[in-house]
Amino acid sequence: MSFPQCRGKSNRMNLTKAYDVTPVAHVMLLPGQKFEGCCEVIETECYTFSYANKSDPNDVGLFHVGKHCADDFINFSGKEAPPLFNPLTSIGARVPRVPGIPGIGGVNQLCALNKEIYEAISILTLAWGPPKAPLQKFLTYLSTYPSTSMSDSDVQHLNNIIGKVTGRTLTGIIAQLGQGLPNLRTFNFPRVGIILAAHAKPNNF
């Protein structure tokens, strides 16, 4: 089952009673980029939540919302917002209420490897749209164990997903996203590279 329609404050409050709801990703979208959210068009900031139905352990998944809806779920669940991924080095006039801090801010202390993974998944969000089920386990891991490096096998699994879905490297995806966007940050994934090299895997990052 997918997550129920979440329009309305009291509706969201009831949903946080019936579901365990956890914010797992927070991405600033590219200028003009829009995604379809559960109850509103997602502009500027895209939040991804994981959910688990408290009365049905098989009913789990992800849903995606804009800032307005996300603020309610974060407040009602009492959970911490994930770090904001900002792909740009500077912020245009379109998004004045977001602080102009490049990169990942916020309180979650992602270790260096996990920060590379979080950035990679955030870039995939910009390229593919909000994260889908195959990426859930990585996002859940990062939000649960931000400061404990993801396992080599999970890094290889994500590497496989990137290669299989795109047939391109993440660096190639970034180059395409950066066309016409001179203030797109540069991204490096040195720790991922070391792990893939140690296992003699092709590097899709």
Instruction: List Cβ neighbours of 199 (8 Å cut-off, separation of 6 or more).
Output: 152, 156
Cβ atoms of 109 and 147 within 8 Å: the answer is yes
Q: Is the dihedral of CA 188, 126, 158, 23 positive or negative?
A: positive
Smallest distance, Zn ion to C-beta of residue 13, A: 12
Q: Which of residues 65-104 bind Zn ion (CB under 5 A)?
A: 65, 69
d(CA 35, CA 164) in angstroms, rounded, equals 23
d(CA 94, CA 104) in angstroms, rounded, equals 19
Smallest distance, Zn ion to C-beta of residue 48, A: 12
Tokens of 72: 């309610």
In terms of CB distance, is 23 or 87 closer to Zn ion?
23
Smallest distance, Zn ion to C-beta of residue 38, A: 4
Of the residues 30, 39, 52, 60, which one makes contact with Zn ion according to CB under 5 A? 39
Instruction: List Cβ neighbours of 96 (8 Å cut-off, separation of 6 or more).
Output: none
Smallest distance, Zn ion to C-beta of residue 130, A: 12
Residue 6 lies near Zn ion (rule: CB under 5 A): yes
In terms of CB distance, is 39 or 161 closer to Zn ion?
39
In terms of CB distance, is 114 or 125 closer to Zn ion?
125
Residue 25 lies near Zn ion (rule: CB under 5 A): no
Residues that bind Zn ion (CB under 5 A): 6, 38-39, 65, 69
